[in-house]
Amino acid sequence: MPPRAGVPGVSRKQQLLKRHRRNKRLALLVALAALIALGLVTWWLPLLLLPLLWVAHEAWLADHLFYTPADDYTYAFDEADEVAGVSLKDGRLQLPALPVAEGATWVLQVELRCALLGRFLDPGVSIEGAGGEDLQVFERGVRGKRYLNLTGLDTALRQGQITLRGRFCRLVGQPRLWMFQQPDLRRKRVMVIAPHADDAELAAYGLYSQADEAWIVTLTAGEIEAEHYQAMGLSSVEAARLKGRLRAWDSIAVPRWAGVAQERCVQLGYFCLQLPAMRQAPTTPFGSREADMADTRPFRTLNALPLPGDDGVPTWHNLLADVRALIQQARPEVIVMPHPVLDPHPDHVAAQQALQEALQGLPWQPEILLGYANHLHDNDRWPMGDSGAGVALPPVTHALSVGQPCTLVLDRPLQLDKAMALGMMHDLQPRPPFKRRVRRVIQRWLAGRRSSPYGENEFFRKAVRRHELFWVLTDRHQGVHRENV
């Protein structure tokens, strides 16, 4: 059997999380020691207060935030896309005569100052217009520049009917508005690159379900972390194999809910968290870390198309050959992939690297590359706020080139269809761990946070939204190039 790879190198996000937890514990111990040394509290009082301290931690300190809420977001959009003459007066957005630009992405920069309650309850900006009300939420303690997503409010913008109100925060200074005009992606041939089953649905269900033609290409079986199935009495190997089979089925079957033909849904069957290792040694096969198998063919049985990697050998060379063959077959005008800068998941990073390598030298090239971020380095709650709300731009607190934002609006029926698609995904069905469920109850009562009505998994709250947010990484017509990302 080909060698099984070890655990990939620790990602930046894992390092940040480890440091975050260590610093919290250290700060607590130092504070307690100082209070005891100064005689301000007796040694036994902290023991009595521990339950209250734990509840307070779960309510207000459990978010993984690896930057300070006082940091400005540092987007550097092109001045040519900015709309001049925008101001805010008595909460109403004052605008000049705007061009007719149906389907444009509208982004408003505002500066926020958190109120006292905004350190305990999620602060946000209420956006009222002709299309109703939206609440876009930011970090507790927010103080700095943030970016609202006004996409879908074209009519209200042109008629000057947008009103902004801070909730547990106030808006200061004057806003800035950008308009990004893109072609209607729904009238294109779209290919979504999904490292795992459910990534395509989380990021782009609204887009691919409305596209003239859609292809869903899932790279891995997603077989690891199968403890839910071990609870059924299966061994760790049996559980991993069952989970891989189920997720392979999901990757083919769930897009049918959106009307995507089965022959345009492809599962490549490579193994979860092995893509980075495969890239480092392109000719070496890397089997599953948990399923005790090194043959991708059991997960490819539902594919309608023959592919170069159908010999079952899990190598980087086979993966590239598969992706090239699919691009040549589908000839997609738009390819949607994990964002090369914003999304830190190791398989997501390797997935976009595989696509970039596969495109080199191919006769067919897409018109547009779009990036998506199902995970972030520095904020596990983004998109913040509730299901159904708009998606404000994610935190970017360093000088990064992330591309041009591109937003698709999902109406209520489409949001519901997306929620049902996510509900069919086996990996989103198990209940969260007990500690997470307790934290959710504490946060609901003490921090005013609401769970998603569609499911217990956090991705139902994050992904079933008014917007799907992408980033234009390559556009032949606008002169944005991959090498500049």
Domain ranges of the chain: 20-61, 79-180, 185-375+411-464
Q: Are 474 and 480 in contact (CB under 8 A)?
A: yes
User: Strand 124-129's sheet: what is its strand order?
Assistant: 87-89, 92-94, 163-167, 124-129, 132-137
Q: CATH for 79-180? A: 2.60.120
DSSP state of 27: H
Q: 3-state DSSP call for residue 214?
A: strand
What does the pLDDT read at residue 285? 98
Residue that wins the pLDDT comparison between 20 and 73? 73
pLDDT digits (tens, 9 = 90+) for 452-467: 999 999 999 999 999 9
d(CA 103, CA 80) in angstroms, rounded, equals 18
Q: Per residue in 86-142, pLDDT tens? A: 999 999 999 888 776 778 999 999 999 999 999 999 999 999 986 679 999 999 999
**Most confident of the following: 13-27, 29-43, 378-392:** 378-392
Centroid of chain to Cα 317? 28
Q: Which structure tokens are listed for 128?
A: 């009222």
pLDDT tops 70 at residue 3: no
Q: What is the mean pLDDT of the chain?
A: 91
Calculate what percentage of the chain has a pLDDT beyond 70. 88
Query: What pLDDT does 6 receive?
Result: 35
pTM (whole model) above 0.85: yes
Percent of the chain with pLDDT over 90: 78
- Indicate the pairing of strand 169-180 with strand 105-114: antiparallel
Indicate the residue type of 480: V
Which band of pLDDT confidence, cut at 50, 70 and 90, is reported for residue 155? confident
Fold of 185-375+411-464: Rossmann fold (3.40.50)
Give the count of alpha carbons within 13 A of 471, CB side only.
Answer: 23
The pLDDT tens digits for 113-124 are 999 999 999 999
